[in-house]
C-alpha cells in the first residue's frame, strides 16, 4: 500500500526575505519615494477607471514623519490581507497572472506596478510602515489601518468611517535613525521632482510649515505654445535643465503604437562614440531610468532623449529596461526617426546640416558605411581633408573628375602639396572611415573616378625634365641610382612645384613591406631565407623624384667627383625620407648621419671620408 507523499510548502524566513528585497534589489534608498508615488498613481488610475471624474490628487507631507496620501481606489480589510500583506501579490495583475503571463500583460496597460514588492522598499528607510485606507469601491466598508514591520509582522485594525472621511490611502513612515537624509523635506521635494516630474496626476509636496509646492508639469513636448519658435525655446531650456547643454536641434519622437512620446536633443559638441549616452525613460510619467543607453541604436550617440512610454517593461528593481521585442522594436523605430531627421535636413535646413556635420561627422561617417540611403543623401555633404582644403566631396568633385585617395595621413601630408601644385586632387584617406567612404563616391556620382594614390600616378603627373637636362644629369643620376637602389628605391628627375622641394619620396605600403621582407631575408639564413626569398614579390619600388627646378638639385647634378656624388645622393635621399614623416629605420638614420659627416668632410677639404663605406667604387659605374 503506497501512501501519497505529503506535500509541503516552502517555509520563508520573512526577515531574510524582507531584508533581501528591500536592501539588495535597489541601488539606493531613495527609491522608496518612487515606490510610494507609484502605488499612489496606480491607485488613482484604478479609481479613475471605475469612477471617471473622481478626484485624482497625490500629496506628500514632509517633516519628522513622512506621509503620502492619494485619492485613489483605497483598500478594504480583505484587500489589505490579500495584497498588502502578501509579498509578491499584486492587485495589478489577475491572480493567476504569472510574472510574464497574460494577467501581467493586461495589467501593464494601466498600471506601473506589477511585482507586488514595491512597498518593501520603504523598509530601507523605516522599520515600520503604516497604511490607512478607505475603499472607494466599497464606501460602506470601514476604514482600515495596517502596520507592517521590517521583521515581517503586521497588525490590522478597523477605524470608524469618520477617521477617514474620503476614500483613498495614506502611507506613513518615520525614518530609522541614520536614514533621515532620505526623508528630509528638501530631499523629498527633489526626489519627487526627479521621479514624478512628468506624472499625469496632480502631485504636491508640503513642507513642514504647511507650504505646498506643485511637483509635476505637462511634458514640455506636449504643452501648448504661442508659436513654433516659443516651443523650440522651451524645449531648449528643458534640455539645458535636464542635461546641461543647449541642443543643436530637437527631434520630436512620437510612436503611437508603442504609446511613446518624447524628444531627442542633438548634442552641440562631439562626444566619444564609444560612450553611449544615457536616455531618460519614463513609464506612464514615472521616471524609470535616467541612464538607459539601450533605448537607441549604438550609432545614435549624438542625441540624448527623454521619452514617456506606456509599453516598455521595467526590470524588478525598476532601474533598467527589460530587453524584449518591444524594446528592440522601439529602438529600431526611434533610430529610423533620427535618421529621417538627418536625411531631411539636407533639404530643409542645409545650414543646420553643415553645423551638425561640423560636430558629428564621425558619427555620420560610421553610420553611412552601413546605410546606403544615408550614404547617398549625406556623402556629398561630408567634409574631408583634401588638397583643396577641408571641403565636401560635392565641391571637390566639381574641380576634380578623378579623386585620388591616400592610404595614410603621412602619405597625404607629404604628397598633397606637390600633387596640388601639379593639379591633382587628393583626399586624405588616412582617417577612420574616410578611404572606404570616398571609394563609394562613384555609386552616387556616376562618372567620378576614385583611385588609390600610388607613386606611379603622382610621378606620371609631374613634368619630365627636358631631354638635354636629363642627359647632362646622367652621371649623377647613375651614381644616385646605385646609392639609393640599395634601399629598394628608384631615382627619377622631374620638374614640379613647389621649387623649394628638392626631392619627393614616393613610397607605398607594398613597397615598404617588400623592403622589410628583403631586409629580414638578408639577415636570416637557411630555411627562413628560402621562405622569405620565395615570397619576393614584384611590388612597386619606392621612387625618389628629384626636382629639376630646385637650386640644390641643379647644383647636385653637376657634381662629378664620385665620393661627393655618393654623399650628395645620400643626403638628398635622407632629406626626402625625413619629409615622409614616418619613423626612420636604423639603417636610414645611419645613412643620414653618414651623409652629413661626408658633406662636412668635403666642406673641410678632407676629401672623401675613409671610414667603412660600402658604396666606394663598388657600384656598377656607367662611365669613368
- Contacts with ligand ATP by CB under 6 A lie at 35, 38-40, 42-43, 70, 72-75, 83-84, 90-92, 113-119, 169
Cβ atoms < 10 Å from Cβ of 521: 18
CB of 330 to ligand ATP, least distance (A): 21
Contact 217, 308 (CB under 8 A): no
Q: At what angle do helices 325-348 and 350-368 cross, to 10 degrees?
A: 140
How far is residue 231's CA from residue 481's CA, in Å, rounded to a whole number?
Answer: 72
Smallest gap, in angstroms, from Cβ of residue 212 to ligand ATP?
Answer: 19
DSSP string of 330-343?
HHHHHHHHHHHHHH
Q: Which is nearer to ligand ATP, 146 or 221 (CB)?
A: 146
Q: Decide whether 94 or 575 has the Cβ nearer to ligand ATP.
A: 94
Return the C-alpha cell found at 330: 522601439
Q: Quote the CA–CA distance of 202 and 58 in Å, as a whole number.
A: 6
User: Which residue, chain included where needed, has cell 490579500?
Assistant: 82
CA atoms within 13 A on the CB side of 593: 9
Q: Which is nearer to ligand ATP, 29 or 116 (CB)?
A: 116
- The nearer residue to ligand ATP, 92 or 360, going by C-beta atoms, is 92
Which CB, 73 or 307, lies closer to ligand ATP?
A: 73
Of residues 119 and 141, the one with the C-beta less far from ligand ATP:
119
309 marked ligand binding residue: no
* Nearest-approach distance from CB 73 to ligand ATP, in angstroms: 6
The cell for 77 is: 480589510
Residue 117 or 342 having the CB closest to ligand ATP:
117
CB of residue 452 to ligand ATP, shortest distance in Å: 60
Spatial contact of 130 and 146, defined as CB atoms under 8 Å apart: yes
Write out the DSSP string of 225-272.
Answer: -SSHHHHHHHHHHHHHHHHSS--S-EEEEEEGGGTEEEEEEEPSS---
Q: Where are the alpha helices (DSSP H) in 349-378?
A: 350-368, 372-378
Concatenate the DSSP letters of all residues of 458-504 into one string: HHHHSEEPPHHHHHHTHHHHHHHHHHHHTTTEEEEEEE-S-TT--EE
Q: Is 70 annotated as a binding residue?
A: yes
CA distance 455 to 505: 9
Q: Cα separation of 131 and 116, whole Å? A: 15
Residues 192 and 186: their CA atoms lie apart, in Å, by: 10
Indicate the pairing of strand 168-175 with strand 426-427: unpaired
Torsion, CA 90, CA 91, CA 93, CA 98, rounded to 10: 30
Angle between helix axes 586-603 and 562-579 (nearest 10 degrees) is 130
CB of 119 to ligand ATP, least distance (A): 4
The contacts found for 456-459 with CB under 8 angstroms, 24 or more apart, are 456/540, 456/543, 457/404, 457/424, 458/415, 458/418, 458/419, 458/422, 458/424, 458/504, 458/506, 458/545, 459/492, 459/494, 459/506, 459/543, 459/545
What are the CA-CA distances from residue 612 to residues 388, 559, 595, 608 (Å)? Answer: 47, 22, 13, 11
Residue 35 labelled as part of a binding site:
yes
Least separation, in Å, of the C-beta of 214 and ligand ATP?
A: 20
Judged by beta carbon, residue 205 or residue 572, the one nearer ligand ATP is 205
Minimum distance of ligand ATP from residue 80's CB (angstroms):
8
Judged by CB, which is closer to ligand ATP: 83, or 245? 83
**Closest separation between CB of residue 72 and ligand ATP, Å?**
5
Please give the Cα distance from 123 to 125 (Å, whole number).
5
CB of 131 to ligand ATP, least distance (A): 7
Q: Which is nearer to ligand ATP, 169 or 459 (CB)?
A: 169
Q: Which of 365, 208, 194 is nearest to 289 (CA)?
A: 194
Cα–chain-centroid distance for residue 566?
A: 55
For the bound state, the minimum distance from the C-beta of residue 89 to ligand ATP, rounded and expressed in Å, comes to 7
Tell me whether residue 314 or residue 425 sits nearer to ligand ATP (CB atom). 314
Provide, rounded to whole angstroms, the least separation between the CB of residue 320 and ligand ATP.
Answer: 14
- The x, y and z cell numbers of residue 317, run together, are 528593481
Q: 3-class SS at 129?
A: strand
Q: How far apart are the first and last CA of the chain?
A: 121
Nearer to ligand ATP, 200 or 562 (CB): 200
Candidates 585, 601, 605, 613; CA nearest to 482 is: 613
* Shortest CB 143 distance to ligand ATP, Å: 13
Binding-site residue set = 35, 39, 70, 169
Binding-site residue set for ATP = 35, 39, 70, 169
Amino acid at each position: 500500500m503506497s501512501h501519497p507523499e505529503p506535500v509541503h510548502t516552502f517555509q520563508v524566513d520573512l526577515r531574510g526575505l524582507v531584508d533581501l528585497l528591500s536592501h539588495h534589489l535597489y541601488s539606493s534608498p531613495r527609491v522608496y519615494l518612487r515606490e510610494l508615488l507609484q502605488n499612489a498613481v496606480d491607485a488613482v488610475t484604478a479609481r479613475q477607471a471605475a469612477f471617471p471624474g473622481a478626484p485624482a490628487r497625490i500629496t506628500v507631507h514632509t517633516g519628522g514623519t513622512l506621509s503620502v496620501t492619494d485619492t485613489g481606489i483605497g483598500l478594504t480589510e480583505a484587500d489589505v490581507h490579500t495584497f498588502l500583506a502578501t509579498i509578491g501579490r499584486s492587485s495589478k495583475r489577475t491572480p493567476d497572472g504569472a510574472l510574464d503571463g497574460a494577467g501581467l500583460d493586461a495589467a501593464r496597460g494601466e498600471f506601473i506596478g506589477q511585482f507586488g514588492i514595491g512597498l518593501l522598499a520603504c523598509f530601507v528607510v523605516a522599520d515600520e510602515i503604516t497604511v490607512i485606507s478607505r475603499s472607494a469601491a466599497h464606501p460602506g466598508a470601514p476604514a482600515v489601518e495596517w502596520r507592517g514591520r521590517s521583521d515581517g509582522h503586521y497588525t490590522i485594525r478597523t477605524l470608524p468611517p469618520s477617521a477617514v472621511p474620503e476614500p483613498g490611502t495614506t502611507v506613513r513612515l518615520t525614518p530609522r535613525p541614520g536614514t533621515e537624509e532620505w526623508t528630509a523635506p528638501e530631499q523629498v521635494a527633489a526626489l519627487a521632482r526627479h521621479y514624478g516630474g512628468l506624472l499625469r496626476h496632480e502631485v504636491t509636496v508640503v513642507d513642514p510649515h504647511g507650504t505646498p509646492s506643485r511637483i509635476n508639469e505637462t511634458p514640455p513636448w506636449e504643452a501648448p505654445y504661442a508659436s513654433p519658435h516659443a516651443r523650440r525655446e522651451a524645449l531648449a531650456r528643458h534640455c539645458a535643465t535636464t542635461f546641461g547643454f543647449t541642443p543643436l536641434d530637437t527631434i520630436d519622437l512620437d510612436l503611437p503604437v508603442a504609446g511613446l512620446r518624447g524628444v531627442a536633443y542633438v548634442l552641440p559638441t562631439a562626444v566619444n562614440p564609444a560612450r553611449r549616452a544615457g536616455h531618460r525613460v519614463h513609464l506612464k510619467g514615472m521616471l524609470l531610468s535616467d541612464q538607459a543607453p539601450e533605448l537607441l541604436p549604438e550609432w545614435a550617440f549624438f542625441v540624448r532623449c527623454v521619452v514617456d512610454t506606456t509599453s516598455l517593461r521595467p526590470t524588478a528593481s525598476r532601474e533598467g529596461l527589460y530587453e524584449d521585442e518591444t524594446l528592440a522594436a522601439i529602438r529600431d523605430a526611434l533610430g529610423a526617426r533620427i535618421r529621417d531627421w538627418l536625411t531631411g535636413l539636407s533639404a530643409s535646413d542645409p545650414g543646420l546640416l553643415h553645423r551638425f556635420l561640423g560636430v558629428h561627422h564621425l558619427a555620420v561617417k560610421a553610420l553611412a558605411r552601413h546605410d546606403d540611403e544615408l550614404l547617398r543623401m549625406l556623402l556629398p555633404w561630408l567634409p574631408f581633408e583634401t588638397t583643396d582644403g577641408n571641403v565636401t566631396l560635392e565641391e571637390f568633385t566639381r574641380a576634380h573628375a578623378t579623386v585620388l585617395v591616400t592610404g595614410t595621413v603621412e602619405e597625404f601630408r607629404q604628397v598633397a602639396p606637390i600633387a596640388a601644385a601639379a593639379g591633382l586632387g587628393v583626399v586624405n584617406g588616412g582617417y577612420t572611415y574616410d578611404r572606404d567612404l570616398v571609394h563609394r563616391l562613384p555609386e552616387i556620382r556616376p562618372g567620378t573616378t576614385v583611385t588609390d594614390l600610388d607613386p606611379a600616378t603622382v610621378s606620371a603627373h609631374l613634368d619630365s625634365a627636358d631631354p638635354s637636362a636629363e642627359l647632362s644629369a646622367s652621371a649623377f643620376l647613375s651614381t644616385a641610382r646605385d646609392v639609393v637602389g640599395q634601399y629598394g628605391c628608384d631615382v627619377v628627375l622631374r620638374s614640379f612645384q613647389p621649387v623649394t622641394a628638392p626631392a619627393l619620396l614616393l613610397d607605398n605600403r607594398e613597397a615598404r613591406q617588400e623592403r622589410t621582407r628583403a631586409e629580414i631575408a638578408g639577415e636570416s639564413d637557411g630555411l627562413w631565407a628560402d621562405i622569405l626569398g620565395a615570397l619576393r614579390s614584384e611590388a612597386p619600388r619606392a621612387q625618389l623624384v628629384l626636382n629639376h627646378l630646385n637650386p640644390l638639385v641643379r647644383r647636385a647634378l653637376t657634381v662629378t667627383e664620385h665620393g661627393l656624388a655618393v654623399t650628395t645622393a645620400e643626403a638628398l635621399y635622407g632629406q626626402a625620407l625625413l619629409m615622409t614623416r614616418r619613423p626612420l629605420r636604423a639603417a636610414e638614420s645611419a645613412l643620414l648621419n653618414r651623409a652629413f659627416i661626408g658633406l662636412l668632410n668635403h666642406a673641410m677639404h678632407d676629401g672623401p671620408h675613409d671610414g667603412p663605406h660600402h658604396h666606394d667604387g663598388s657600384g656598377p659605374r656607367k662611365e669613368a
